Structure 1
Amino acid sequence: MSLAPTVQRFLEGQHVAYRMLHHTYAETMMSSAMAAQLPARKVAKGVVLKDEEGFVMAMVPSDRMADLEAINHSMNRLLEPASQQDVNILFSDCKQGAVPSLGQAYNMPVIWDDALAEEDDCYFECGDHMDLLRLDKSSFAHLMAAYPHGRISH
């Protein structure tokens, strides 16, 4: 598997051009960036959060930590990290731990960090531990235009 079927259907439905980048096996987004020889700031990681209203995907550069206080303030919610069991169920078409940060493909609200829009291109986990999805700046902007954003990482 290289591209999760849900992600592939979503990208095709959005008519977004993308490229795939294969790398050696890596468990974390930071190690994926290193394996792919990319600056970690260009590789987005998805952090799945949850509250009584449901799930939210926070997308931040892989070299940063999600700022839960900033996210909760921005979204006016009391989110906390989702359990691994929840994540496995939500992303059942992905390898365990290989969570695509394009939460909207899984009908999940998304909030993203402004630092990602400063890059010429952005890379995402796409469902396994050996491939990254590359979007150029305009494709990223198209996919993220409807979602809240801000400085949500440190």
Structure 2
Amino acid sequence: MHMAQTLERSLQRAHCQFELVEHTHSATSLESARKAGIPAARMAKSVILDDRRGHYLMAVLPADRQLDLSKVRKGPRRWQLSGEQSLARLFKDCEHGAVPALGEVYGIDMLIDPLLVRQQDIYLEAGDHESLVHMPIDEFFKLAPNAKVCELCH
């Protein structure tokens, strides 16, 4: 498997500039960054949350950072980490654990940490464990125009 079909179609529809970066098999976004030889601060990882009532949210942060759930829980919903079954259902065209950090193309609201927004370009999982999408940050926002930027990390 290479790029997830949903992601590929969305990139083409938006006429985004990007490149596909291959790397040896990895299990996490942080490991993907290391194996691809890129700074972890420029690798966008996604954390999927839900409110146990059918609403989902994708938090996007640098691969070398951890999500501070208390910063997400400030709103009216009580977000918590989504289970593996939900991820498999939401991201059917992705390998387990290789969810692209572009929830909006999957119909999921997004929060993105400002640490990523400050980067000129970012990398994200392409939907498998051996390739990344590399794109300028302004191209990323073509696919996430409604993403809210807010502090998410410890």
Do they fold alike, i.e. is TM over 0.5? Answer: yes
Q: Which residue of 2 aligns with 1:81?
A: 81
Asked if structure 2 preserves the Cα contact closer than 8 Å seen for 1:23 and 1:130, the reply is yes
Work out the percentage of aligned pairs sharing the same amino acid.
Answer: 33
Q: Which residue of 1 aligns with 2:48?
A: 48
| 1:60 has 2:53 as partner | no
Q: Which residue of 2 aligns with 1:13?
A: 13
TM-score normalised by structure 2 residue count: 0.94
Query: C-alpha separation between the residues in 2 aligned to 1:145 and 1:102?
Result: 10
Q: Which amino acid aligns with 2:58?
A: M
Q: Which residue of 1 aligns with 2:139?
A: 139
**Structure 2: 5+ residue stretches without partners:** none
Asked if structure 2 preserves the Cα contact closer than 8 Å seen for 1:117 and 1:141, the reply is no
* Higher normalized helix content (fraction of residues): 1
Query: C-alpha separation between the residues in 2 aligned to 1:42 and 1:91?
Result: 23
TM-score normalised by structure 1 residue count: 0.94
Q: Which residue of 2 aligns with 1:123?
A: 123
**Structure 1: 5+ residue stretches without partners:** none
Q: Cα RMSD (Å) of the superposition?
A: 1.3
Could you say what secondary structure the match of 1:144 adopts?
coil
Asked if structure 2 preserves the Cα contact closer than 8 Å seen for 1:117 and 1:140, the reply is no
Query: C-alpha separation between the residues in 2 aligned to 1:143 and 1:114?
Result: 17
Query: C-alpha separation between the residues in 1 aligned to 2:144 and 2:94?
Result: 22
